[in-house]
Amino acid sequence: MCQLLGMNSAQPADMRFSFTGFAQRGGATDHHGDGFGIGFFEDKVCRLFIDNQPAASSPVADLIKHYPIKSKNVISHIRKATQGDALQLQNCHPFVRELCGRHWLFAHNGDLIDYAPVPSKRYQPIGETDSERAFCELMDAIINIEDGHGACPEALTFATIARVAERIAEHGVFNFLLSNGKFMVVHCSTNLYLLQRQWPFAEAQLIDADMRMDFSQTNTAEDRIAVVATQPLTSGENWRKLEAGELLLLKDGQIVQETRLFVSDAVKAKNAANLACV
Amino acid sequence: MCQLLGMNSAQPADMRFSFTGFAQRGGATDHHGDGFGIGFFEDKVCRLFIDNQPAASSPVADLIKHYPIKSKNVISHIRKATQGDALQLQNCHPFVRELCGRHWLFAHNGDLIDYAPVPSKRYQPIGETDSERAFCELMDAIINIEDGHGACPEALTFATIARVAERIAEHGVFNFLLSNGKFMVVHCSTNLYLLQRQWPFAEAQLIDADMRMDFSQTNTAEDRIAVVATQPLTSGENWRKLEAGELLLLKDGQIVQETRLFVSDAVKAKNAANLACV
């Protein structure tokens, strides 16, 4: 399986503290050592770093831990392979595509069973994961609501994602993060925690590494940051566990749209039984 | 303007030697300090590193110089901004898109004058460069010859690129490298040099850095590597200057298809006058 980390912020923010803790789970404090990826938006373009070495020891991850890249939308993923070849880079999340003249970035935690959509000519998967197939299906649905002038209206985009995600989630565990650099869509099937940091900022201690940060020293009243993760990254902060089916649109570090997707009792029972999903 | 570096190889090859020399031109031995990019194919997927710091000093470039990534197709680009904001990441080459279930990677040297194609819904530029517009036009033409089963026949792809590139090249200097991980297409408008390394391998000395390499120690009879660059990277090797209009399809380190695009005398004269194009 895998773990997810997402960040959506009002101001470009430095992700090194959170990523340092998260990367430890890629082979050090946890067993998600089959590659990792992290994508940073800078305006419309996403800078993606992926590697098939464990995040805890990869030289690429080491660069990320030390190079201050400031971004308003970041998605990261550490992988424990369950589908697709563990060492193939094409199966490393996040996946990226261009749509409406900007990058879109997607990462998924979970397994989708008997999920085999027919790919369109427009967006085809490169690797073999169920996750990339789901991403392509979402992209296909969104391009279809493009307004003819190269834009995708935000409310309609969120409604479209809700409709398609609800259908895909019938196939199994579908925790995902999706961003186009303007906003981030978060969907919880089983395990996702949300933390909102804002004024007055406080101190936090990483759970996976001996590192503390006093955010009141580095942030101002204008800063507001939402962090989403498969498991809480810090102690001393108020991580809220999202509900099954909860779909959020985060923008500028806060929830601007939300809905609850329908999850059948059969799917709930199947997902609850899927203990690998942590 | 900018400089290009491409590598096409029969076996996955290490690019650190060539990139070390090339990166020096990004702010040390030459003035191409407005960002850089390098994309490595691993099978169908391309791993792209871009940065808006000079290649000679960027921590991302430093990682590339020391982290052995083996690849059969690599494209790199160092930039001296002439179009688009110098520091915006979205204007850094190479550009990448998915087509027929694999990545395609593109980098361009030159300026295209009065070139404003209407972007399709399928491939839209993210940044403001003439280069990305040209890439999108090429991608649009190639997706149109997709055979209905997610494949693009190679000979037809080459012919399509030739037809579209000839038209785009009427707008100015259009040296470019394009790869889909299986092959690399090389087009020379004004400045591109081709080097073919094969058995028996010899020694080479970087022009831009104090570094020598004895390729006979690291390569075997099965290895065959084509390197393309805006200016020769090494002394003691046989770099051939390509002709204006020369379009090559490189595969497994050798030329497998070639043609010569028509270049009018007017365009030749205009390009020759464009002394910035080095």
In tens, the pLDDT along B84-136 reads 565 789 999 999 999 999 999 999 999 999 999 988 888 999 999 999 999 99
Contact between A264 and A233 (Cβ < 8 Å) = no
Select from B149, B125, B152 the least CA-distant residue to B136. B125
Check residues B274 and A41 and name the one with the higher pLDDT.
A41
Residue A26 scores a pLDDT above 90:
yes
Quick one: which H or E segment has residue A142?
helix A130-143
Q: Where are the beta strands (DSSP E) in A80-119?
A: 95-99, 102-109
SS3 B107: strand
Could A89 and B42 be called an inter-chain contact, meaning their C-beta atoms sit closer than 8 Å? yes
Average pLDDT over residues A237-250: 97
B121 → closest Cβ in A66, A123, A143:
A143
| Torsions phi, psi for B216 (to 5 deg) | -70, -20
Set of chain B residues whose Cβ sits within 8 Å of the Cβ of A127: 44-45
Interface check for B145 against chain A (CB to CB < 8 A): the answer is no
Instruction: Go through B258-277 and write b for each residue having 16 or more CB atoms within 10 A of its CB, e for each that does not.
Output: eeebebeeebeeebeebeeb
Q: How far is B166 from chain A (nearest CA, A)?
A: 25
Q: How far is CA B209 from CA A168, A185, B51, in A?
A: 54, 47, 21
Instruction: Go through B130-162 and write b for each residue having 16 or more CB atoms within 10 A of its CB, e for each that does not.
Output: bbbbbbbbbbbbbbeebeeeeebeeeebbebbb
Select from A183, A179, A186 the least CA-distant residue to A165. A186
Contact between B236 and B209 (Cβ < 8 Å) = no
Quick one: which H or E segment has residue A166?
helix A154-168
Note if B2 is an active site residue. Answer: yes
Q: How far is B122 from chain A (nearest CA, A)?
A: 7
Residue B200 is predicted with a pLDDT of 93
Residue A277 is predicted with a pLDDT of 42
Q: How far is A178 from chain B (nearest CA, A)?
A: 18
Contact between B103 and B75 (Cβ < 8 Å) = no
Nearest CA in chain B to A152: B121
Residue A184 is predicted with a pLDDT of 98
SS3 B276: coil
Could A47 and B119 be called an inter-chain contact, meaning their C-beta atoms sit closer than 8 Å? no
pLDDT over 70, % of chain B: 97
Average pLDDT over residues A52-77: 95
Q: How far is A238 from chain B (nearest CA, A)?
A: 35
**DSSP 8-state symbol, A170:** G
Residue B270 scores a pLDDT above 70:
yes
B98 forms beta bridges with: B103
Interface check for B151 against chain A (CB to CB < 8 A): the answer is no
Residue A142 scores a pLDDT above 70:
yes
Average pLDDT over residues A155-175: 97
Nearest CA in chain B to A149: B121
B63 → closest Cβ in A43, A60, A125:
A60
A121 → closest Cβ in B89, B119, B143:
B143
Q: For A8-23, write each residue's pLDDT tens digit.
A: 999 999 999 999 999 9
| Apex A45 CA angle, A102 and A70, nearest 5 | 140
Residue B199 scores a pLDDT above 70:
yes
Sequence-distant (≥ 6) Cβ neighbours of residue A243 within 8 angstroms: A188, A260
The pTM (predicted TM-score) of the whole model is 0.94
Interface check for B67 against chain A (CB to CB < 8 A): the answer is yes
Q: Which of A193-197, A214-218, B1-5, B86-90 shows the lowest per-residue confidence on average (mean pLDDT)?
A: B86-90
| Apex A245 CA angle, A152 and A34, nearest 5 | 85
The token pair that represents B4 in the structure block:
């290009």
Nearest CA in chain B to A43: B90
Residue A18 is predicted with a pLDDT of 95
Order of strands, edge to edge, in the sheet holding A224-229?
A45-51, A36-42, A70-79, A2-14, A224-229, A193-198, A240-241
Residue A172 is predicted with a pLDDT of 96
Interface check for A90 against chain B (CB to CB < 8 A): the answer is yes
Q: Which of A85-89, B8-12, B210-214 shows the lowest per-residue confidence on average (mean pLDDT)?
A: A85-89
Residue B86 is predicted with a pLDDT of 59
Residue B1 is predicted with a pLDDT of 72
| Apex B45 CA angle, B261 and B197, nearest 5 | 55
Q: Which of A157-171, B109-123, B139-153, B239-253 shows the lowest per-residue confidence on average (mean pLDDT)?
A: B139-153
The token pair that represents B133 in the structure block:
């517009």
Select from B67, B3, B41 the least CA-distant residue to B250. B41
Check residues B122 and A212 and name the one with the higher pLDDT.
A212
Of the pLDDT bands very low, low, confident and very high (cuts 50, 70, 90), residue A68 is: very high
Cis bond upstream, residue B94 (ω within 30)? yes
Could B127 and A45 be called an inter-chain contact, meaning their C-beta atoms sit closer than 8 Å? yes
Mean pLDDT of chain A: 93
Of the pLDDT bands very low, low, confident and very high (cuts 50, 70, 90), residue A221 is: very high
Contact between B97 and B143 (Cβ < 8 Å) = no
Residue B123 CB burial class (10 angstroms; 0-12, 13-18, ≥19): buried
Residue B277 scores a pLDDT above 80:
no
B63 → closest Cβ in A59, A101, A121:
A59
Interface check for A123 against chain B (CB to CB < 8 A): the answer is yes
Residue A278 is predicted with a pLDDT of 40
Average pLDDT over residues A204-225: 94
